[in-house]
Amino acid sequence: MNLPAADATSRPSPPLAQMQVVTLPGVHGRIDHFAVDTAGRRLFVAALGNHTLEVVDVAAGKRITSIPNLNEPQGVAYLPSLHRVVVATRAGGTVTAFDDNDYRPVATISNMPDADNLRFDAAAGELYVGHGDGGLGVIDPASMKVVAEIPLPGHPESFRLEEGGSRIFVNVPPTREILVVDRNQRSIVKRVSLGSFADNYPMSLDEKGHRLFVAVRHPARLLVFDTRAINQLAVVPCVADSDDLFYDAARDRVYVIGGQGYVDVFDASPSARYARLARIPTRAGARTGLWSNELDRLFVGWPLREGHLAEIEVLGVTTGP
């Protein structure tokens, strides 16, 4: 007996669907973190293994240019008020600002070993960089001078700044901790042990809902914390080898990107208990990307793998408000 055709079409649509794929010919090796210029619809991609910063025209779906000779770029930030793109390099130990029009280098901070994630505090006009064996550097981006250092017990991975408060939440994998830093005091005010959970790399913040999302690799789990008491709210399995995760406030969802070759989509609404809505196939080794609230797009970096060129996959929202 044949099944009715309706059975095949009645399945719910996935929450994300591929809208575009942008090819990056000649880009080899690992792809690290992204930044976006929403007004200019440009994407900045730290191609760590290729030693370049790739600049992509999102509207046209093509690469604009490639900035070479960056020694393992990891972090990137776009500062529209200063018309600058800032890049942090791991092996180079530098933080360099580039003009966002002609992409020429404007200024470089040296002696910044393993410079990694960058976050901009727009209200204070300060740029933060995680670096070395344990530190957050505070940079005046106009002068490109380090104005303060906040010591940490190990190398920081992802960190998030409150907009309505003075706290910074910091992942420190070497000590299996989340640190709470007061950026007015320039010091750690709380240390949260993750116990048996290891390799806490990506992080996202729902400031309005008082929640912090952290993914760990061993075992592969999404952890949810209340940011008021810093107590754990939930633990759910997620994609392996995660390196980026994002909170979609408009839909109350969490997107976890993992090198296992998937993006996991979780329902973060109060009644859902962080149920996984979908597992979207990407590519093995694709573990970094960027969610843009303004563009309603999730960008995922696909590294060169098994004969496929390096690409940026653009996923659009198919369901929700």
Contacts of 16 (CB under 8 A, 6+ apart): 255, 263, 265, 278, 280, 298, 315, 316, 317, 318
- Assigned token pair, 83: 């018309």
| Mean pLDDT on 47-75 | 98
Backbone angles phi, psi at 286, to 5 degrees: -85, 100
pLDDT reading at 280 higher than 60 = yes
Mean predicted lDDT score pLDDT of the chain: 95
**Of 159 and 12, more confident:** 159
| Mean pLDDT on 159-169 | 97
Q: What pLDDT does 50 receive?
A: 98
pLDDT band at 8 (very low <50, low <70, confident <90, very high): very low
pLDDT reading at 262 higher than 70 = yes
Nearest alpha-carbon partner for 48 in 27, 62, 64, 65: 27
Q: What pLDDT does 270 receive?
A: 86
Q: Kindly report which listed range (9-13, 24-28, 241-245, 267-271) carries the lowest average pLDDT score.
A: 9-13
199-226+239-321 is a CATH 2.40.110.10 domain: no
Torsion angle defined by CA atoms of residues 120, 124, 126 and 129, in that order, rounded to the nearest 10 degrees: -50
pLDDT reading at 4 higher than 60 = no
pLDDT band at 11 (very low <50, low <70, confident <90, very high): low
CA 219 – CA 288 distance, rounded (Å): 19
Q: What pLDDT does 3 receive?
A: 41
| Cis, bond preceding 219 (omega within 30 deg of 0) | yes
pLDDT band at 271 (very low <50, low <70, confident <90, very high): confident
CA 71 – CA 94 distance, rounded (Å): 9
Contact yes or no for 253/15 (Cβ under 8 A): yes
CA 140 – CA 149 distance, rounded (Å): 12
pLDDT digits (tens, 9 = 90+) for 110-143: 999 999 999 999 999 999 999 999 999 999 999 9
Q: What pLDDT does 319 receive?
A: 72
pLDDT digits (tens, 9 = 90+) for 74-105: 999 999 999 999 999 999 999 999 999 999 99
Q: Give the domain ranges of the chain.
A: 27-193, 199-226+239-321
Q: What pLDDT does 290 receive?
A: 98
Q: What pLDDT does 126 receive?
A: 98
Q: What pLDDT does 12 receive?
A: 73
| Mean pLDDT on 21-31 | 97
- Asked if the domains at 27-193 and 199-226+239-321 fall in one CATH topology, the answer is yes
Nearest alpha-carbon partner for 319 in 245, 244, 250: 250
CATH tag for 27-193 (out of 3.40.50.720, 2.130.10.10, 3.40.1410.10, 3.40.1350.10): 2.130.10.10
Contact yes or no for 278/259 (Cβ under 8 A): no
**Of 2 and 46, more confident:** 46
Contacts of 196 (CB under 8 A, 6+ apart): none
pLDDT reading at 316 higher than 70 = yes
